[in-house]
């Protein structure tokens, strides 16, 4: 990844590249279909999808990161379009393009290696840079701005809820004490505050890991956008359309798992009611697979170790994307 000056392009290895695209089952007449890559990143999945599509196929990708949008601009393919926004806006974006249903949706959640490895983005506690953490640097409040204005109680709640950090309120207290003395504007500065507040930590894990994760998720509203995006993807899937989601931590995977299960398990009415079998609620999704990266992929890309991919297929009548 690079900024407007001299930061070199940082490398990103797409996790579960072949498996995720294979799970969309783009073959035969489905190669003529419309697909959504909700998280373009550096385009690994998108480029592979385009290789599978026929000349009549179409791919609509989304990303909030301006640098991802710049990367996408290099794809000279009339079948491809990039939308500079979150996949949570999928319903509006598809409606604006006259698309009522799609044949597959792929979501690769979390942050990419170039985002983590670019100190200027503020995602990493290992690199000293401005405390930004925004996926979209053109809008919204940075992590530094949020820490400067939020209450100590709410900072603690965010770190606890989104970071699953047991020392959340001790960390929040330390943040509040430091900001009363000086602004908290750098990643190394925040990491040091957390390190002094956390009494014990799992072996091999930096004390700041959970706090940085929590603040990043909150600043970017990642879990809220995931809920909205999953519902939009489901509503727009054509019969037999596939939904493939790769998550990297338990909070994301829990949302994906529960969402897919809720659509795969139809609510059962009271057995005492006189309801015909034909009128019983029917499942709307079929759960197909759950997969983790193989040892060989993890050895070549350690950041893949926490990835979980879940795949489901739309069954029954399509509910109508405009609803």
Annotated binding-site residues read 43-45, 63, 87, 108, 115
User: Distance between CA 143 and CA 134 in Å, rounded?
Assistant: 7
Tell me how far the alpha carbon of residue 78 is from its chain's centroid.
26
Looking at the chain, list the stretches that DSSP marks H as alpha helix, in order from N- to C-terminal side.
Answer: 17-23, 44-52, 66-72, 90-96, 113-117, 143-149, 152-163, 168-179, 187-197, 209-219, 222-236, 250-264, 295-300
Q: Measured between alpha carbons, how far is 232 from 90 in angstroms, rounded to an integer?
A: 6
* CA–CA distance, 181 with 178 (Å, rounded to integer): 5
237, 319 Cβ separation under 8 angstroms: no
Q: Which two tokens stand for residue 176?
A: 């509040």
Q: Strand order of the sheet with strand 102-108?
A: 80-84, 58-63, 34-37, 102-108, 237-247, 308-314, 285-291
Contact yes or no for 175/104 (Cβ under 8 A): no
Q: Which residues are annotated as a binding site for S-adenosyl-L-methionine?
A: 43-45, 63, 87, 108, 115
């Amino acid at each position: 990844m690079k900024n407007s000056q001299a930061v070199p392009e940082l490398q990103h290895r797409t996790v579960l590249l072949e498996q995720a695209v294979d799970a969309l089952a783009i073959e035969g007449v489905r190669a003529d279909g419309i697909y959504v890559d909700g998280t373009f990143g550096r385009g690994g999945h998108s480029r592979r999808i385009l290789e599978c599509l026929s000349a009549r196929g179409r791919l609509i990708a989304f990303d909030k990161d301006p640098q991802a949008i710049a990367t996408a601009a290099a794809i000279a393919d009339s079948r491809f379009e990039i939308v500079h926004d979150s996949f949570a806006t999928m319903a509006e974006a598809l409606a604006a393009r006259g698309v009522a249903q799609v044949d597959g949706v792929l979501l690769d959640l979390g942050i990419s290696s170039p985002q983590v490895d670019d100190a200027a983005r503020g995602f990493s506690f290992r690199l000293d840079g401005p405390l930004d953490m925004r996926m979209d640097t053109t809008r919204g409040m940075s992590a530094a701005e949020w820490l400067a204005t939020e209450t100590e109680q709410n900072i603690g709640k965010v770190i606890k809820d989104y970071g699953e950090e047991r020392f959340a309120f001790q960390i929040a207290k330390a943040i509040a004490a430091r900001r009363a003395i000086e602004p908290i504007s750098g990643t190394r500065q925040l990491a040091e505050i957390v390190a002094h507040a956390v009494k014990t930590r799992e072996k091999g894990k930096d004390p700041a890991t959970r706090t940085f994760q929590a603040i990043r998720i909150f600043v970017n509203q990642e879990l809220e956008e995931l809920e909205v995006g999953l519902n939009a993807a489901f509503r727009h899937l054509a019969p037999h359309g596939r939904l493939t989601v790769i998550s990297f931590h338990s909070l994301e995977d829990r949302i994906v798992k529960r969402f897919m299960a809720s659509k795969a398990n139809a609510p059962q009415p009271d057995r005492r009611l006189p309801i015909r079998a034909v009128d019983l609620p029917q499942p709307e999704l079929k759960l197909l697979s759950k997969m983790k990266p193989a040892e060989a992929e993890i050895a070549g890309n350690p950041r893949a170790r926490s990835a979980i991919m879940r795949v489901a297929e739309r069954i029954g009548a399509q509910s109508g994307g405009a609803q």
